[in-house]
Chain A
Amino acid sequence: MEIKVLRNVMIKNNSVGKDNRELFINKKVFVANLVSSPGAGKTTLLENSISSLAAKYKVGVIEGDLYTSRDAERLEKFNIPIVQINTEGGCHLDARMVRGAINELNIDNVDVLFIENVGNLVCPSSFDLGEHKRILVYSITEGEDKPKKYSTMFSTADVVIINKVDLSKACKINIDQVENEIRSINKKALILKVSALEPNSLREWLLWLEGEIERVKKS
Protein backbone atom coordinates (compact mmCIF):
# COMPACT_ATOMS: atom_id res chain seq x y z
CA MET A 1 0.00 0.00 0.00
CA GLU A 2 1.33 3.39 -0.96
CA ILE A 3 1.28 6.14 1.67
CA LYS A 4 1.76 9.68 0.41
CA VAL A 5 4.12 11.62 2.66
CA LEU A 6 5.10 14.74 0.67
CA ARG A 7 7.15 16.31 3.45
CA ASN A 8 10.22 18.46 2.97
CA VAL A 9 12.90 16.91 5.19
CA MET A 10 14.34 20.34 5.99
CA ILE A 11 11.18 20.99 8.03
CA LYS A 12 12.99 19.15 10.82
CA ASN A 13 15.63 21.88 10.88
CA ASN A 14 13.47 24.80 9.86
CA SER A 15 10.91 24.36 12.65
CA VAL A 16 13.68 24.70 15.24
CA GLY A 17 15.12 27.61 13.25
CA LYS A 18 11.69 29.28 13.43
CA ASP A 19 11.60 28.79 17.22
CA ASN A 20 15.09 30.28 17.47
CA ARG A 21 14.02 33.30 15.41
CA GLU A 22 10.97 33.89 17.60
CA LEU A 23 13.16 33.75 20.69
CA PHE A 24 15.62 36.25 19.20
CA ILE A 25 12.77 38.60 18.27
CA ASN A 26 11.18 38.32 21.72
CA LYS A 27 14.50 38.96 23.43
CA LYS A 28 15.37 41.76 20.99
CA VAL A 29 18.70 40.21 20.08
CA PHE A 30 20.05 40.88 16.60
CA VAL A 31 21.56 37.67 15.22
CA ALA A 32 24.02 37.44 12.32
CA ASN A 33 25.05 34.10 10.81
CA LEU A 34 28.56 34.43 9.33
CA VAL A 35 29.31 31.99 6.53
CA SER A 36 32.30 31.66 4.21
CA SER A 37 34.83 29.23 2.88
CA PRO A 38 37.69 28.39 5.31
CA GLY A 39 40.17 31.23 5.75
CA ALA A 40 38.04 33.97 4.22
CA GLY A 41 38.38 36.12 7.33
CA LYS A 42 35.28 35.59 9.46
CA THR A 43 37.15 35.55 12.75
CA THR A 44 39.30 38.58 11.89
CA LEU A 45 36.15 40.45 10.89
CA LEU A 46 34.58 39.45 14.19
CA GLU A 47 37.64 40.56 16.19
CA ASN A 48 37.64 44.03 14.69
CA SER A 49 33.85 44.34 14.75
CA ILE A 50 33.56 43.32 18.41
CA SER A 51 36.42 45.65 19.24
CA SER A 52 34.29 48.55 18.00
CA LEU A 53 30.88 47.34 19.15
CA ALA A 54 31.69 46.11 22.66
CA ALA A 55 31.78 49.59 24.22
CA LYS A 56 28.21 50.25 23.14
CA TYR A 57 26.53 46.85 22.90
CA LYS A 58 26.52 43.55 24.75
CA VAL A 59 27.94 41.01 22.32
CA GLY A 60 27.70 37.22 22.36
CA VAL A 61 29.25 34.67 20.01
CA ILE A 62 28.48 31.08 19.03
CA GLU A 63 31.57 29.57 17.44
CA GLY A 64 31.17 26.68 15.01
CA ASP A 65 34.25 24.61 14.29
CA LEU A 66 34.93 21.05 13.18
CA TYR A 67 37.29 20.10 16.01
CA THR A 68 39.10 23.05 17.63
CA SER A 69 38.36 26.07 19.78
CA ARG A 70 41.03 28.24 18.13
CA ASP A 71 38.62 30.91 16.90
CA ALA A 72 36.90 31.12 20.28
CA GLU A 73 40.30 31.53 21.94
CA ARG A 74 41.02 34.51 19.67
CA LEU A 75 37.87 36.19 20.98
CA GLU A 76 38.42 35.47 24.67
CA LYS A 77 40.28 38.79 25.08
CA PHE A 78 36.93 40.61 24.80
CA ASN A 79 35.57 38.90 27.90
CA ILE A 80 32.22 38.28 26.25
CA PRO A 81 29.99 35.19 26.41
CA ILE A 82 31.17 32.63 23.84
CA VAL A 83 29.78 29.14 23.31
CA GLN A 84 31.82 26.68 21.26
CA ILE A 85 30.11 24.10 19.06
CA ASN A 86 32.38 21.37 17.69
CA THR A 87 30.64 19.49 14.91
CA GLU A 88 33.18 16.61 15.01
CA GLY A 89 33.61 16.67 11.26
CA GLY A 90 30.11 17.90 10.41
CA CYS A 91 30.20 20.50 7.65
CA HIS A 92 27.64 22.99 8.97
CA LEU A 93 25.74 24.19 12.01
CA ASP A 94 22.06 23.32 12.24
CA ALA A 95 19.23 24.98 14.15
CA ARG A 96 19.20 22.41 16.95
CA MET A 97 22.92 22.90 17.65
CA VAL A 98 22.32 26.64 17.89
CA ARG A 99 19.34 26.05 20.19
CA GLY A 100 21.60 24.10 22.55
CA ALA A 101 24.19 26.88 22.48
CA ILE A 102 21.53 29.55 23.18
CA ASN A 103 20.56 27.64 26.29
CA GLU A 104 24.15 27.98 27.51
CA LEU A 105 24.34 31.72 26.77
CA ASN A 106 22.58 34.24 28.95
CA ILE A 107 20.72 35.69 26.00
CA ASP A 108 18.88 38.20 28.21
CA ASN A 109 22.20 39.95 28.52
CA VAL A 110 23.02 40.13 24.80
CA ASP A 111 22.18 42.81 22.18
CA VAL A 112 23.93 41.20 19.23
CA LEU A 113 24.76 37.55 18.71
CA PHE A 114 27.25 36.47 16.05
CA ILE A 115 27.13 32.87 14.89
CA GLU A 116 30.37 31.93 13.16
CA ASN A 117 29.43 28.97 11.00
CA VAL A 118 31.77 26.18 9.89
CA GLY A 119 33.94 27.29 6.95
CA ASN A 120 32.14 25.85 3.92
CA LEU A 121 30.51 27.50 0.91
CA VAL A 122 28.03 24.70 0.27
CA CYS A 123 26.28 22.98 3.17
CA PRO A 124 25.53 25.89 5.56
CA SER A 125 23.38 27.48 2.84
CA SER A 126 20.69 24.82 3.38
CA PHE A 127 20.30 25.26 7.14
CA ASP A 128 18.25 28.11 8.59
CA LEU A 129 19.54 28.79 12.10
CA GLY A 130 16.91 31.40 12.94
CA GLU A 131 19.25 34.32 12.27
CA HIS A 132 18.03 37.76 11.22
CA LYS A 133 20.69 38.12 8.55
CA ARG A 134 23.09 35.83 6.73
CA ILE A 135 26.47 37.44 6.18
CA LEU A 136 28.71 35.91 3.54
CA VAL A 137 32.39 36.78 3.88
CA TYR A 138 34.10 36.30 0.55
CA SER A 139 37.86 36.62 0.23
CA ILE A 140 39.08 38.26 -2.94
CA THR A 141 41.80 35.59 -3.11
CA GLU A 142 39.12 33.01 -3.94
CA GLY A 143 38.86 34.46 -7.45
CA GLU A 144 36.20 36.00 -9.66
CA ASP A 145 34.53 32.75 -10.64
CA LYS A 146 33.27 31.39 -7.33
CA PRO A 147 29.93 33.21 -6.92
CA LYS A 148 28.38 31.25 -9.78
CA LYS A 149 30.06 28.02 -8.67
CA TYR A 150 28.53 28.37 -5.20
CA SER A 151 25.39 30.15 -6.28
CA THR A 152 23.09 28.81 -3.53
CA MET A 153 25.23 30.37 -0.84
CA PHE A 154 25.49 33.67 -2.71
CA SER A 155 21.79 33.78 -3.56
CA THR A 156 20.76 33.33 0.10
CA ALA A 157 23.08 35.96 1.60
CA ASP A 158 21.69 39.25 2.94
CA VAL A 159 25.12 40.85 2.98
CA VAL A 160 28.22 39.89 1.02
CA ILE A 161 31.45 41.24 2.46
CA ILE A 162 34.23 41.15 -0.11
CA ASN A 163 37.27 40.84 2.13
CA LYS A 164 41.04 41.26 1.62
CA VAL A 165 40.50 43.86 -1.11
CA ASP A 166 44.01 45.14 -0.36
CA LEU A 167 45.29 41.94 -2.02
CA SER A 168 43.41 42.40 -5.30
CA LYS A 169 46.39 43.77 -7.24
CA ALA A 170 48.76 41.09 -6.00
CA CYS A 171 46.22 38.40 -6.90
CA LYS A 172 45.27 40.11 -10.18
CA ILE A 173 41.61 40.06 -9.27
CA ASN A 174 39.15 42.54 -10.72
CA ILE A 175 36.94 43.57 -7.79
CA ASP A 176 34.28 45.08 -10.07
CA GLN A 177 34.00 41.77 -11.88
CA VAL A 178 33.55 39.96 -8.56
CA GLU A 179 30.83 42.41 -7.63
CA ASN A 180 29.11 41.95 -10.99
CA GLU A 181 29.21 38.16 -10.58
CA ILE A 182 27.61 38.45 -7.15
CA ARG A 183 25.01 40.92 -8.40
CA SER A 184 24.05 38.60 -11.27
CA ILE A 185 23.06 35.97 -8.68
CA ASN A 186 21.70 38.14 -5.90
CA LYS A 187 20.19 41.50 -6.78
CA LYS A 188 19.19 42.44 -3.23
CA ALA A 189 22.25 41.72 -1.08
CA LEU A 190 24.23 44.58 0.37
CA ILE A 191 27.77 44.29 -0.98
CA LEU A 192 30.61 45.77 1.06
CA LYS A 193 34.33 45.85 0.30
CA VAL A 194 36.69 45.63 3.23
CA SER A 195 40.05 44.55 4.46
CA ALA A 196 39.12 43.05 7.82
CA LEU A 197 42.65 43.60 9.14
CA GLU A 198 42.17 47.34 8.65
CA PRO A 199 39.55 48.61 11.12
CA ASN A 200 39.14 51.83 9.12
CA SER A 201 37.76 49.86 6.20
CA LEU A 202 34.92 48.47 8.36
CA ARG A 203 33.10 51.76 8.88
CA GLU A 204 30.20 51.02 6.51
CA TRP A 205 29.84 47.47 7.87
CA LEU A 206 29.75 48.71 11.45
CA LEU A 207 27.21 51.41 10.60
CA TRP A 208 25.00 48.79 8.98
CA LEU A 209 25.37 46.51 12.01
CA GLU A 210 24.49 49.29 14.44
CA GLY A 211 21.42 50.11 12.36
CA GLU A 212 20.28 46.49 12.49
CA ILE A 213 20.95 46.15 16.23
CA GLU A 214 18.94 49.32 16.92
CA ARG A 215 16.14 48.24 14.58
CA VAL A 216 15.74 44.93 16.45
CA LYS A 217 16.00 46.61 19.85
CA LYS A 218 13.20 49.03 18.98
CA SER A 219 10.96 46.44 17.31
Chain B
Amino acid sequence: MHEGKIAEYSYSIIEEVFKEKYPLMDKKIKKIVFAIGRPHTVMRDSFEFYFCELTRGTFLEGADLVYEYVEEEGFYVSSIDVED
Protein backbone atom coordinates (compact mmCIF):
# COMPACT_ATOMS: atom_id res chain seq x y z
CA MET B 1 0.00 0.00 0.00
CA HIS B 2 3.00 2.32 0.12
CA GLU B 3 2.41 2.59 -3.63
CA GLY B 4 -0.31 5.14 -2.79
CA LYS B 5 2.21 7.40 -1.10
CA ILE B 6 4.72 6.88 -3.92
CA ALA B 7 2.00 7.86 -6.43
CA GLU B 8 1.39 11.07 -4.42
CA TYR B 9 5.11 11.90 -4.35
CA SER B 10 5.38 11.22 -8.10
CA TYR B 11 2.43 13.48 -8.87
CA SER B 12 3.94 16.24 -6.78
CA ILE B 13 7.34 16.02 -8.52
CA ILE B 14 5.79 16.01 -12.01
CA GLU B 15 3.61 18.99 -11.11
CA GLU B 16 6.66 20.93 -9.83
CA VAL B 17 8.70 20.23 -12.97
CA PHE B 18 5.80 20.91 -15.33
CA LYS B 19 4.82 24.19 -13.63
CA GLU B 20 8.40 25.40 -13.75
CA LYS B 21 8.57 24.83 -17.51
CA TYR B 22 4.97 25.75 -18.36
CA PRO B 23 3.63 28.13 -15.68
CA LEU B 24 0.27 28.32 -17.45
CA MET B 25 0.05 24.52 -17.49
CA ASP B 26 -1.57 24.80 -20.90
CA LYS B 27 0.09 21.75 -22.42
CA LYS B 28 -0.77 18.10 -22.18
CA ILE B 29 1.58 15.42 -20.92
CA LYS B 30 1.61 12.51 -23.34
CA LYS B 31 3.93 10.11 -21.55
CA ILE B 32 5.62 9.65 -18.19
CA VAL B 33 8.60 7.33 -17.79
CA PHE B 34 9.21 5.88 -14.33
CA ALA B 35 12.40 4.06 -13.37
CA ILE B 36 12.01 1.29 -10.83
CA GLY B 37 15.25 0.58 -9.02
CA ARG B 38 16.44 -2.13 -6.66
CA PRO B 39 15.08 -3.40 -4.35
CA HIS B 40 11.83 -3.67 -6.29
CA THR B 41 9.46 -2.86 -3.47
CA VAL B 42 6.96 -1.12 -5.76
CA MET B 43 4.25 -3.22 -7.38
CA ARG B 44 3.56 -1.76 -10.78
CA ASP B 45 -0.14 -2.66 -10.89
CA SER B 46 -0.75 -1.24 -7.45
CA PHE B 47 1.20 1.95 -8.22
CA GLU B 48 -0.68 2.38 -11.49
CA PHE B 49 -4.05 1.96 -9.77
CA TYR B 50 -3.26 4.70 -7.23
CA PHE B 51 -1.63 6.97 -9.81
CA CYS B 52 -4.59 6.77 -12.20
CA GLU B 53 -7.05 7.45 -9.36
CA LEU B 54 -4.97 10.38 -8.20
CA THR B 55 -4.63 11.96 -11.65
CA ARG B 56 -8.26 11.57 -12.71
CA GLY B 57 -9.51 14.96 -13.92
CA THR B 58 -6.02 16.52 -13.70
CA PHE B 59 -3.44 17.59 -16.28
CA LEU B 60 -1.95 14.11 -16.05
CA GLU B 61 -5.07 12.12 -16.88
CA GLY B 62 -4.60 9.84 -19.84
CA ALA B 63 -0.80 10.05 -20.02
CA ASP B 64 0.91 6.81 -21.05
CA LEU B 65 2.82 5.30 -18.15
CA VAL B 66 6.05 3.61 -19.14
CA TYR B 67 8.40 1.74 -16.81
CA GLU B 68 12.04 0.84 -17.00
CA TYR B 69 14.01 -1.16 -14.48
CA VAL B 70 17.34 0.17 -13.26
CA GLU B 71 20.06 -1.03 -10.90
CA GLU B 72 20.06 2.10 -8.72
CA GLU B 73 18.13 2.09 -5.45
CA GLY B 74 14.75 3.87 -5.42
CA PHE B 75 11.80 4.80 -7.59
CA TYR B 76 12.31 7.64 -10.05
CA VAL B 77 10.31 9.92 -12.27
CA SER B 78 12.67 9.57 -15.21
CA SER B 79 11.13 11.87 -17.84
CA ILE B 80 7.91 13.41 -19.09
CA ASP B 81 6.89 13.86 -22.69
CA VAL B 82 4.90 17.03 -23.36
CA GLU B 83 2.84 17.67 -26.48
CA ASP B 84 4.35 20.14 -28.95
Interface residues of A (CB under 8 A from B): 1-13, 89-92, 94, 122-123, 125-127, 151-152
Contact = CB atoms under 8 A, between A and B. Distances in A.
B80 A5 contact: yes
Taking chain A's interface residues, is the majority helix, strand, or loop, or is none over half, making it mixed? mixed
A7 B16 CA distance: 11
Nearest to B73: A8
Contacts of B41: 122-123, 125-126, 152
A134 B31 CA distance: 38
A91 B14 contact: no
Nearest to B7: A9
A5 B78 contact: yes
Given A5-B17, A9-B6, A123 B76 contact: no
Contacts of A92: 2, 5
Contact of B74 (A10, A91, A123, A151): A10
Q: How large is the interface on B (under 10, 10 to 19, 20 to 34, 35 or more residues)?
A: 20 to 34
A10 B9 contact: yes
What are the nearest 6 A-B pairs in CB distance?
Answer: A123-B2, A9-B9, A12-B9, A8-B74, A91-B1, A5-B77
A97 B41 CA distance: 21
Given A1-B84, A12-B13, A92-B2, A7 B77 contact: yes
B2 A5 contact: no
A13 B74 CA distance: 12
B2 A127 contact: yes
B62 interface: no
Residue picked from A2, A3, A13, most chain B C-beta under 10 Å? A3
Interface of B: 1-2, 4-6, 8-10, 12-14, 17-18, 21, 39, 41, 74-82, 84
Contact of B81 (A2, A8, A123): A2
30 contacts: A1-B81, A1-B84, A2-B79, A3-B18, A3-B80, A3-B81, A5-B17, A5-B77, A5-B78, A5-B80, A6-B76, A6-B77, A6-B79, A7-B13, A7-B17, A8-B74, A9-B13, A9-B74, A9-B77, A10-B74, A13-B9, A89-B1, A90-B4, A91-B2, A92-B2, A94-B5, A123-B2, A123-B41, A127-B5, A151-B39
B1 A123 contact: yes
Given A3-B17, A152-B39, A9 B81 contact: no
A106 to B, nearest CB: 28
A5 B79 contact: yes
B5 to A, nearest CB: 6
B84 to A, nearest CB: 6
Contacts of B81: 1-3
Contacts of A1: 81-82, 84
